[in-house]
Amino acid sequence: MNKKLLCIVCLASLFFISCSDSNEDDSEYADYLVARPLIMSKAEFTSSVDILPPQPINESGKVYVYQDYVFINDKSKGVHIIDNGNPQQPVKIAFLEIPGNVDISVKDNFLFADSIMDLIVLDISDINNIEQVNRLEGVLRDGVIFPFEADIVEFGSYDYATEILIGWETVTERRLIEEVQNRNDIFFGDIAVAEASDGGQTGQGGSLARFKIVDEYLYAVDSHMINVFDISDLENPKDLEDVYAGFDIETIFNRGEHLFLGSMRGMYIYDISSPATPTFVSEFRHGTACDPVVVDGDYAYVTLRGGNGCGALESGLFIVDISNIQTPELTISYPMEEPYGLGIRDEKLFVCDGSSGLKVYDKTNVEDLTLLNHFKDIVTFDVIPLESHLIMVGNEILYQYEYLDDKIRLISQIGLN
């Protein structure tokens, strides 16, 4: 065999071996969501709130609407502010840097935000000149939420005396399946539930919120407690006695004199006719799962997402009869893929079904929901149905839809990066 022919044979052999090895290697790997801790010095943390020009988003979280502005949480980093005076052409205007932040709520131009264990108060009456007016240190419990949504959690080390954990950064990485399966620090899961209120000019959050303003009180839930604040003096909130609410509390929704708390174990209902001291009314238990909740009329709508650290194997939409608030009962359930936030406007029910897209139902007959729209090929996370139009966030994109008689239509979208 001459040298030229031998060279060709060798190259061909290498090509086929390479392809074979590549295929074998590819089958041994998979994409995983990896979480790593975000660390900051304690000295830097206490003076860390800042107002910056628009920044690329790292990981979009919950969405909140106040007047003509949309606020989108960047998990553990802060809040992006978007001028939405014209929903067809939203404009990014600023970034509120708040380390450890996952929730906000607004009343009469005062924005309340969590920064791990601290409650921050900012005056946003001049959106171009936002000012911090107060910081209540150590008034919130369990400020950093464990990244249940991650497939792999890589615990770092830090100096407890001089540093503080402000959150988790999650990225998708390709890992060897066998190594991942042999690890003992694999977790699956999420966070979830809430809405808006009245009494003064307040904003409206999506179904994944942990903050809720009702009249002159701010309720902030953590994994076990309802943290209660008197905000009659908006610049100077009073930290009232916390109320123990159970285990694995994730979200909060208000209707009238009741709070509806979503947890990994079920839905808890609390009476706030005496607003400073919420009292337990009843609960609806389901299998362990992550669950946002919204309420309309005689029904509570609960999405349960399985296949993660919350424990459930299957995902679905549960509709619970709450006509007797003392004894909530399951009416019917519908299968879903990986539901997150949900919302209601009149007879339309909107469900963010993760990578399965946005689903719009006619809920006139809750025992026979009719699918009106299904926006596929988008990743959906949180949704707010406003009177004029629908706002949704997912996969670092803000979507807006207009209502039609029996459907909805996309009117704009803006990338957050």
**CB distance 342 to 330 below 8 Å:** no
Do β-strands 243-244 and 217-221 pair in parallel, antiparallel, or remain unpaired? unpaired
Q: What is the mean pLDDT of the chain?
A: 84
pLDDT tens profile 298-351: 999 998 877 655 555 578 899 999 999 999 999 999 999 989 899 999 999 999
pLDDT at 183 (0 to 100): 61
Question: What percent of the chain is modeled with pLDDT above 90?
Answer: 55
pLDDT at 246 (0 to 100): 80
DSSP state string for 322-377: -SSTTS-EEEEEEEESS---EEEETTEEEEE-GGG-EEEEE-SSGGG-EEEEEE-S
Q: Side-chain half-sphere of 226: how many Cα atoms within 13 Å?
A: 30
Residue 15 predicted with pLDDT over 60: no
pLDDT tens profile 267-294: 999 999 999 999 999 999 865 555 689 9
pLDDT at 188 (0 to 100): 35
User: pLDDT confidence of 171, banded at 50, 70, 90?
Assistant: confident
Where do the domains of the chain lie, and which CATH numbers do they carry? Answer: 33-415 (2.130.10.10)
* Separation CA 229–CA 240 (nearest Å): 5
Sheet with 110-115, side-by-side order of all strands: 104-107, 110-115, 118-123, 131-136
DSSP label of 221? E
User: pLDDT confidence of 194, banded at 50, 70, 90?
Assistant: very low
pLDDT tens profile 234-274: 999 999 999 999 877 889 999 999 999 988 788 999 999 99
Question: What percent of the chain is modeled with pLDDT above 70?
Answer: 81
pLDDT tens profile 378-403: 999 999 999 999 999 988 899 999 99
**CB distance 417 to 396 below 8 Å:** yes
pLDDT tens profile 88-141: 999 999 999 998 898 999 999 999 999 988 999 999 999 999 999 999 998 987
Residue 364 or 153, more confident: 364
Token match 């628009």: residue?
54
pLDDT at 330 (0 to 100): 94
pLDDT tens profile 25-69: 678 888 888 888 777 676 666 667 999 999 999 888 899 999 999
* Separation CA 51–CA 213 (nearest Å): 24
